[in-house]
Structure 1
Amino acid sequence: MRIIIDCDPGNGVPGANIDDGLALALAIAAPQLSLELISIVAGNTPVETGYAVASDLIQRLGAAVPVRQGAARALREAPEPWRDRLDRSVDRCGLRELWARTPAPPPRPAGKPLAPQAIGELICDNPGAITLVATGPLTNVAIALQLYPELVRAVNEIVIMGGTFHVPGYIKDTNFGLDPEAAHAVLTSGAPITLVPMDVTTRTQLRHTDLDRLSAVENDLSRYLEQTLRPWIAYSMQTRGLPGCWIHDALTIAWLLDPSLTTVVEDYVDVSLDGLTRGMTCRYGREGLRLEVGIPEPRGAKVRILQSIDNDRLLALIEGYIHSYI
């Protein structure tokens, strides 16, 4: 399977989530996947930081995968409140020292913001052959759809980590909340979409003991994950009261490798653009609504939505591919 991963990785960055990096590692380790492009969007990290993280991983592995820098901010949403939340929380919590022994990704010369063009050209030049996996805000994907309208029919599938329906404490998630207009444009585009929402990803869990097993076999990928995942697990335990950390984005790649890991339903999905609910994800297939007054007809096409996950099988799958990496 030929894939693009559009992401916002933060491995090695104090306070930044590591799930994009784990998704990249799994995609690189799986021989049945051909990772043909990594595109970077601002989200979990600023776009320059994500570009440095992905470039560092590819250089460490000697992999021949192009990395392209993309959108530095959302289509309309103001970036400052999000950057304050995402980039400075580690210092407000006083937990930067957790990364004291983790080498930071070296800065890279700023790449040109060509990710949307690279995404559109690769998909449209290979109709039906490319699956696009989006694990950050959907800004790059929305711009690619604007530049290449034929992408809707040319893409094999778009697999999106984003959205939340019934997760306590979340009206919206970071990926859709940071750029609601982009999420709305992609979800209602009519492209074939599989959604991996927080409702299922918050049922994943990676503990220190799981990472011990993951890194028991030494290779370049396991060493990288040991270095960069360990502090985030500790950070997540202290700030979220979890026994480990969620691995949201890794589920997108794991599902491609083994769809039987999850159950799936279909529904129409959109994102609110106004008021208190701005950035909130809505399921609104009319046949499932008990009250539809004032609710418009669905736009786009039905979206497949992952519902459940066997976490033990998920971890075993990740471990197997990372251990077999050469």
Structure 2
Amino acid sequence: MDQMRQLILDTDIGSDVDDAMALALILGTPSLDLVAIHTVYGDTRLRSQLARRYGALAGRDLTVVAGTAEPLSGRPVWWAGHEGTLHKDLDAETFAPGSAPEDLVARLQNNQGALDVVAIGPLTNLAAALELEPQAAQWIRHLWVMGGWFGADAEPEHNFKSDDVAARAVLTAGIPTTITAIEITRQVSITNDLLQRIRTAGPLGAALGADIEQWWAYWNETWNVPHDPVAVLTLTRPDLFALSEPGHVTIGADGLSTFTPDPAGTVRIVTELDAVAVAEEIAARIVAAAGSVAGETDGDGS
């Protein structure tokens, strides 16, 4: 039986559809106990309402706390403009009071060494939490990050570039960390066959399918890269991935990330994955989140 893990999801849900896919994957994984969602980057109120709506579509009453809107780097927030437009009456979705950095510190302090943090947006909330309480770095069981780009042809990746100040603070704090970077996530695609499986999975699948198609239309594509769900799977399905030896990560002024092996380091990066199995697992977990087997039976004809 899979080990039960309690986790906090830190997310910029609402722009790239992959955050919503990651949330659905978590909700469809019985071994994950999602204790809170923290939103980050830009309109965190809207992002919180979207997270609550997706929880409701999955029949879950999620604890959501809005976080820091402005990056510590001072860079302008990138905003696609379509965030939440397919979801009616989002103002009816209420979320918890307070601020995400304060909530993170409190939860970690009350559950020292018991909580995983999955960070799939800029790391601003985590950096702010460490500024409030530096010891919080010692209270995180493990940090799972989607971000960075490692390799000979690497360029700055969005999450790290958006707040390189926060990325630098978090990734040098000594937290046990696994990073899934863009050169890994780009090996996985959500194509039309997987979209159709997702769309059949009840109200959650229908809403997520519409958001996926909206994201495709935004980029004039018929597929997308599920960056964030891939990062979540490094926690739930480690058998599908290979990791580096320990090391440390350096973040340049423009967000460019460099990994240096070091036995004393606390960071590992994903180096390989089974792309076909990862894509299949993402679709299966999303279907499971909807509480329906329709997607499974329609997909295989049984």
Question: Normalization by structure 1: what TM-score?
Answer: 0.79
Distance in structure 2 (CA, Å) of the matches to 1:69 and 1:174: 21
Q: Determine whether 1:24 maps to 2:23.
A: yes
Q: Which structure 1 residue ranges, 5 or more long, are not aligned?
A: 11-15, 91-95, 288-299
Q: What count of residue pairs does the alignment treat as equivalent?
A: 284
**Paired residue for 2:173?**
189
Match of 1:172 among 148, 156, 159: 156
Q: Tell me the CA shift for residue 113 of structure 1.
A: 5.2
1:305 to 254, 264, 269: 269
SS of alignment partner, residue 230 of structure 1? helix
- After superposition, the Cα gap between the structure-2 partners of 1:27 and 1:109, relative to the gap in structure 1 and judged at 3 Å, is closer
1:145-224 pair list within 5 angstroms: 145-166=130-151, 171-216=155-200, 218-224=201-207
Determine if contact 1:2/1:35 at 8 Å carries over to the other structure. Answer: yes
Residue 140, structure 1, aligned to residue 137, structure 2: no
Q: Distance in 1 between matches of 2:121 and 2:155?
A: 18
Equivalent residue number for residue 69 of structure 1: 66
Cα separation, partners in 2 of 1:55 and 1:177, compared to 1, 3 Å = same
SS at match of 1:323: helix
Aligned pair in 2 of structure 1 residues 308, 60: CA closer, same or farther (>3 Å)? same
Deviation, structure 1 residue 30: 0.7
CA distance in 2, matches of 1:152, 1:160: 15
Aligned pair partner of 2:11 in 4, 7, 25: 7
Gaps of 5+ in 2: 292-302
Pair 1:280-2:265 in alignment? no
Cα distance in structure 1, aligned partners of 2:176 and 2:27: 24
- In structure 1, the residue matched to 2:218 is 235
Question: What is the deviation of 1:104?
Answer: 5.3
2:22 match: secondary structure: helix
1:189 touches 1:301 (CA, 8 Å); kept in 2?
no
What SS does the corresponding residue of 1:5 show, helix, strand or coil? strand
- Structure 1 match to 2:296: none
Structure 1 residue 219, shift from structure 2 partner: 2.4
Kept after mapping to 2: 8 A contact 1:52/1:105: no
Report how far residue 279 of structure 1 moved: 1.2
User: What RMSD, in angstroms, separates the aligned Cα atoms of the two structures?
Assistant: 2.5
Note the alpha carbon deviations across 1:251-277, whole angstroms, 9 max, x for none: 12222111011111032102112xxxx
**Which of 224, 232, 237 is the matching residue for 1:253?**
232
